[in-house]
Amino acid sequence: MNIFVCIKQVPDTTTQIKLREDGNGIDETDIQWIISPHDELAIEEALILRERKPNSTVTVLSAGPERATEALRMALAMGADSAARLDIPDNFNSAMNARALSAAINKLGPADIVFTGKEAIDDGASAVGSMIAIYLKLPCVSVVNKIDYGEDSITCRRDIGGGNIEVIETKLPAIISTQVGLNEPRYATALNIIKAKKKPIETITREELGITEANQKIKLTNFELPPPKQPCRLIEGSPTEQANELIRVLADEIQAI
């Protein structure tokens, strides 16, 4: 099987985000970059599938600047067979990223299955997976937390809220976007990282992908940090006093009830 995984490099969840002086983006100095956590699930699922299907290969793709190579390196350290970076400018344009990733899959493919995270935790757009499906004209099941693999079809489970579960069967090839619970991403040891440094990472240029300025349809105009959190207030006293005070605060002070 030809298994593809699309990943994005994002700032670590514990990073204190600082804005650029011009307010038009984030300050990248001191940022620790990681693979977006849902994309790690996608890599893990690809590796699990490879173990089940003999003669399979896992190719990992990431659209982004030079630093995205590090994310690809981690994917190789986890066990992916090959990796390619799509050299397009860093952007918050899901359509352009999806277009580049689809072009790369067409170039390196054809794919039997494509995994990607349900969203990247930086912009949280949740769009790229579905968009790739449109560009590649393939079925897409999103936010999947369980997959049963059949001969040439797969059965996916997704939680759709209200405690309801949706089960979707689709023929392959297909695009799957992964949700927490699907698996537990494996740990890449320091040795695996050292070894991954020796593996080549291909760079595909924007010309090869057919990406032009014209694809850049979204322009970001301003960034703002969220307002600081309100301090906590502890309500003290006996349970009755606490309950009364809570009702008073909710009713009178903030008029929530």
Partner 1 sequence: MINDPKIQLTRETFGNIPPWSVTAFYIIAIASVLIFFWGVWRRWKLWKQGKPISIRKILLGNYQRLKPRLGRLFKEGLGQKRVRGRGLASWAHIMMFVGFIVLFLGTTLLEIDHLATKISEQFHFHHGWYYVIYEATLDIFGLLFILGISLFAWRRMRRPNSVGHRASDWTVLGLFLGIGVSGYFVEALRILWDQPKGLALWCSPIGALLAKPFSSMSETTSRSAHLIVWWAHSLMVFGFFAMIPFTRLLHFITGPMNLFFAEPSLGKLKPITIEEIEETGIVGVSEIPHLDQQQLLSLDSCMECGRCEEACPAFASGKPLSPKVVVQDLKGLMEATANGESVKLHGDTIQEETVWSCTSCNACVTACPVRVDPLGLLFDLRRDRAAEGALAGSAANSMRQMQTKGNPWGFPQEERLAWANGLDVQLASNKPDFEILWWVGCAGSFDRRAQKVTRAIAKLLIKAEVNFAVLGPNECCTGDSARRLGDEFLFQELAEKNHSTLKQHGVRKILTQCPHCLNSLSNDYPQFGDQFEVVHHTEFLQQLIDDNKLSSPNDSDSVTYHDPCYLARVNGIHQSPRDLLGNNINEMKRHREKTFCCGAGGGRMWMEEEADQRVSVLRAKEAIETNAKTVAVGCPFCLTMMTDGVKSCDSKAEVEDVAENLVKRLGL
Residue 13, CA distances (Å) to 35, 61, 116, 154 in order: 10, 22, 19, 32
Q: Which of residues 22-51 bind partner 1 (CB under 8 A)?
A: 32, 34, 44, 47
**Binding of partner 1 by 175 (CB under 8 A):** no
- Least distance CB 189 / partner 1 (angstroms): 4
- 55 is written with which tokens? 């003669």
31 vs 168, which CB is nearer to partner 1?
Answer: 31
> Rounded distance, CA 2 to CA 252, Å?
62
Alpha carbons within 13 angstroms on the beta-carbon side of residue 33 total 18
**Binding of partner 1 by 189 (CB under 8 A):** yes
> Rounded distance, CA 49 to CA 58, Å?
9
**Binding of partner 1 by 217 (CB under 8 A):** no
Among 160, 191, 214, 257, binds partner 1 (CB under 8 A): 191
Residues that bind partner 1 (rule: CB under 8 A) add up to a total of 20
- Least distance CB 251 / partner 1 (angstroms): 35
From residue 129 to residue 148, what is the string marking binding to partner 1 with x (rule CB under 8 A)? --------------------
Q: Which amino acid is at 241?
A: E
**Span near partner 1 by CB under 8 A; candidates 89-97, 138-146, 154-162, 191-199:** 191-199
> Rounded distance, CA 26 to CA 145, Å?
32
Question: Taking a C-beta distance cutoff of 8 angstroms, is the pair 168, 156 a contact?
Answer: yes
- Least distance CB 211 / partner 1 (angstroms): 31
**C-alpha dihedral sign at 139, 160, 120, 74:** negative
Q: What is the dihedral of CA 202, 204, 205, 210, to 10 degrees?
A: 180
**Span near partner 1 by CB under 8 A; candidates 84-92, 187-195, 202-210, 228-236:** 187-195
DSSP states along 135-167: HHT--EEEEE-EEEE-SSEEEEEEE-STT-EEE
- Least distance CB 205 / partner 1 (angstroms): 30
**Span near partner 1 by CB under 8 A; candidates 59-67, 87-95, 188-196, 237-245:** 188-196
Residue numbers at the binding site for partner 1 (CB under 8 A): 12, 14, 32, 34, 44, 47, 78-79, 183-194
